[in-house]
Amino acid sequence: MHEIEPLGFDFRLRTRELASSVHRSKLKTLAFILLLTGAMGALGALSPYAQQKRSTWDGVYTSEQEARGRAQYAESCASCHGPELETESYIPLIVGPAYIANWDGLPLATFFDRVRGMPVDKELTRQQNADVVAFLLARNGFPAGRTELKGQQDELNEITFRATRPGN
C-alpha cells in the first residue's frame, strides 16, 4: 500500500507535464498556421493571377437568359423605350457608348436597381429583372458567358460595370 503512493504521484506529475507539452505544441501549430495563411494572403494579393473583381466583360449572363430578357423587354419596356431601343424623344437612350459611359465603375447593382425602379405594368421578379439586364448588356456589346446573372444582391455588388473592354 505504502509503496504505491509515490508511483501514483509520479504518474500524475508526468501526465501534467505531458499535457502542458501537448498544449505548447498545439500553440506552435496554431502560430504556424496563422503565419502560413498570412503569407498566403500576402502572396495572393501580390500575384498577378489573384482573383480580380469580375466586370461586365467577364460573361456575367448567358445567351438563353438574353433571349428571355428580350421577350421581357418587349412586354415591359418597349412601350416607352421603343421595340429596338431607338427612342430618342423624351426617354434617354439606354444603348450605345455614350450611354454606358454613365455607368462606368459602378457596381452592376446600381444599374439593376435603376431598371427595377422603372414604371412597368406588372412588377418584375428579381429573376425577370436580371433577364432584362442581361438583354441590355448584350445590346450594349457585353459578351455572354456560361453562368446566368441571378440578380442576387451580393453577386450584383461584386460585378463592376466597365464601359470599355479591359486592355482597350
Q: Which residues contribute to the site for ligand HEC (CB under 6 A)?
A: 76-77, 79-81, 91-92, 94, 102, 114-115, 118-120, 132
Q: Phi and psi for 77 in degrees, rounded to 5?
A: -120, -30
Tell the smallest beta-carbon distance from residue 109 to ligand HEC (Å): 13
Indicate the residue among 118 and 144 with the shorter CB distance to ligand HEC: 118
Indicate the residue among 57 and 134 with the shorter CB distance to ligand HEC: 134
Residue nearest ligand HEC, Cβ-based: 77
Q: How far apart are CA 45 and CA 50, in angstroms?
A: 6
Tell the smallest beta-carbon distance from residue 164 to ligand HEC (Å): 17
Q: If you ran DSSP here, which 8-state letter would residue 160 be given?
A: E
Sign of CA dihedral 36, 37, 42, 43: positive
**H or E element, residue 111:** helix 108-116
Tell the smallest beta-carbon distance from residue 75 to ligand HEC (Å): 9
